């Protein structure tokens, strides 16, 4: 029997006719959307995979995609139906892991891409998870608290056939929070007949949640941002920072950068864009957003047209909102030296190329915002052992893992002369495909 290393590694040879059928339309790159962007990113990394390239098609096909109907009775007695999704992209390295978002623009393409990016992200920081993601196409602001609970519980019951503490572990994402996770955990537990705290992460502390989880993604953005800045001789203590999105990611990152001496000069969210050349008072702005739900109306700043956010003179830009915010249309206007992607998929491949040509260093989402899933992993481990760490211990472990992951990616980028995004994909895809190769195919 030949050893694995002696198997043919030429991924360019003609495939068996039965395996050469075109991808289904929803998997094709020319259908674009977030999934198409992910496929383009995979195409760029394949030449660096060596003999593992023979398994690359694994990366282009989700393992499992579930679309569910979520009917609930509204407060007025009528019945409404919402479309929900749960996609497991890859589980070669462990159970699926990824958030659940409630948003009116959720699509299958988006959820597939987010699940795939979770596969890359988890492998990049070397936590033992695969990638998954979920969502419901709904504007949660239109629902009462009772309607939101009923929708969450029904959705959890519908996807309950594929989630579980050792199968797929959801977490918060856009428009979901600790309360949503508590309802999901309770619903799954009731259906299983036993409390299963490890079925979700990002839970309230009193239900097995982890200290440090709420700030983890923003802290990770800050941690790797400082490391990247050091490599390009950018002094954080005098840097000017612009942030798009001011929630648990952008708001926390802004707070940490401000505490390090940086000036947060511009912030944009769904309500508008504000600017102050001398630097915004971040604690006051966070208090304002907590009360008003948006940066709009903050008295200690001037208002900018939203389109001018991309023209702000800054050293660091942190897109921490939604996908496809930096495109070919605005990438040429960005004046930052360093872009740190707090959001998932905020930069299109075309914009990536423009920024690279202009000498802008892009710290990609698949490592920059991995702090959240890293502390989710800590939470999951703590739930299994029923032994919980202090917040200082958790933050120290997070910082260590993020720094080590960044150092590995930086080294690969220098060795191959590629962007940090491609370098992160090289590291992650090799780990995923090596696990696939070792496990083999069953049956």
| Residue 362: strand pairing partners | 339
The CA-based angle 122-217-322, given to 5 degrees, is: 90
Q: How far apart are CA 292 and CA 285, in angstroms?
A: 10
Q: What pLDDT is attached to residue 34? A: 87
Q: Which positions are catalytic? A: 133
Q: Which residue is it, tokens 């698949």? A: 366
Q: How far apart are CA 66 and CA 8, in angstroms?
A: 34
Q: What domains are there in the chain, each with its CATH number?
A: 62-195 (3.40.50.10860), 216-368 (3.40.50.720)
Q: What pLDDT is attached to residue 77? A: 97
Full pLDDT tens readout for the chain, 443 residues:
333 333 333 333 344 444 444 555 555 545 568 899 899 999 999 999 999 999 999 999 999 999 999 999 999 999 999 999 999 999 999 999 999 999 999 999 999 999 999 999 999 999 999 999 999 999 999 999 999 999 999 999 999 999 999 999 999 998 999 999 999 999 999 999 999 999 999 999 999 999 998 899 999 999 999 999 999 999 999 999 999 999 889 999 999 999 999 999 999 999 999 999 999 999 999 999 999 999 999 988 899 999 999 999 999 999 998 888 899 999 999 999 999 999 988 998 899 999 999 999 999 999 999 999 999 999 999 999 999 999 999 999 999 999 999 999 999 999 999 999 999 999 999 999 999 999 999 98
Q: Which helix (H) or strand (E) holds 180?
A: helix 178-192
Provide φ and ψ at 177, rounded to 5°: -150, -165
Whether the bond into 430 is cis, omega within 30 of 0: no
Q: What pLDDT is attached to residue 35? A: 92
Q: How far apart are CA 249 and CA 321, in angstroms?
A: 9
Neighbours of 205 (CB within 10 A): 13
Asked if 324 and 346 count as a contact pair (C-beta separation under 8 A), the reply is: yes
Q: How far apart are CA 383 and CA 400, in angstroms?
A: 22
Q: What pLDDT is attached to residue 33? A: 80
Asked if 81 and 71 count as a contact pair (C-beta separation under 8 A), the reply is: yes
CA 335 to chain centre: 25
Q: Full-prediction pTM beyond 0.85?
A: yes
Q: What pLDDT is attached to residue 323? A: 80
Q: Which residue is it, tokens 């032994």? A: 387
């Amino acid at each position: 029997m030949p050893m694995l290393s002696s198997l043919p590694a030429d991924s360019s040879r003609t495939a068996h006719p039965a395996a050469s059928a075109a991808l289904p339309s929803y998997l094709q790159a020319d259908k674009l959307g977030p999934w198409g962007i992910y496929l383009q990113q995979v195409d760029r990394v394949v030449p660096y995979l060596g003999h593992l390239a023979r398994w690359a098609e694994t990366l282009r096909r989700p393992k499992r995609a579930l679309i569910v109907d979520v009917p609930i009775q509204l407060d007025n007695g009528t019945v409404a139906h919402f479309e929900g999704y749960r996609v497991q992209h890859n589980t070669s390295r462990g159970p699926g892991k990824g958030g659940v978002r409630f948003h009116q623009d959720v699509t299958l393409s988006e959820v597939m891409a987010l699940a795939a990016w979770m596969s890359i992200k988890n492998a990049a920081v070397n936590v033992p998870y695969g990638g998954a993601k979920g969502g419901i196409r709904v504007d949660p602001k239109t629902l009462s608290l009772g309607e939101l609970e009923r929708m969450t519980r029904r959705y959890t019951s519908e996807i309950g056939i594929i989630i579980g503490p050792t199968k797929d572990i959801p977490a918060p994402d856009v428009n979901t929070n600790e309360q949503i996770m508590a309802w999901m955990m309770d619903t799954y537990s009731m259906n299983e007949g036993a409390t299963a705290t490890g079925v979700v992460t990002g839970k309230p502390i009193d239900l097995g949640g982890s200290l440090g989880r709420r700030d983890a993604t923003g802290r990770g953005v800050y941690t790797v941002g400082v490391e990247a800045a050091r490599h390009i001789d950018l002094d954080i203590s005098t840097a000017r920072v612009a942030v798009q999105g001011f929630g648990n990611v952008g708001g926390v990152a802004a707070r940490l950068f401000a505490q390090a001496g940086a000036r947060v000069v511009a912030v944009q969210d769904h309500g508008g864009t504000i600017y102050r050349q001398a630097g915004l008072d971040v604690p006051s702005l966070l208090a304002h957003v907590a009360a008003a739900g948006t940066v709009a109306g903050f008295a200690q700043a001037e208002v900018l047209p939203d389109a001018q956010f991309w023209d702000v003179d800054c050293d660091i830009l942190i897109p921490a909102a939604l996908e496809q915010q930096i495109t070919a249309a605005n990438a040429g206007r960005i004046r930052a030296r360093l872009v740190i992607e707090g959001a998932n998929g905020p930069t299109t491949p075309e914009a990536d190329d423009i920024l690279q040509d202009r000498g802008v260093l892009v710290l990609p989402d698949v490592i920059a915002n991995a702090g959240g899933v890293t502390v989710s992993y800590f939470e999951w481990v703590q739930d299994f052992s029923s032994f919980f760490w202090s917040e200082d211990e958790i933050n120290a472990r997070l910082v260590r893992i993020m720094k080590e992951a960044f150092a590995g990616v930086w080294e690969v980028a220098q060795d191959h002369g590629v962007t940090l995004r491609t370098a992160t994909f090289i590291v992650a895809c090799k780990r995923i495909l090596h696990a696939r190769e070792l496990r083999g195919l069953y049956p």
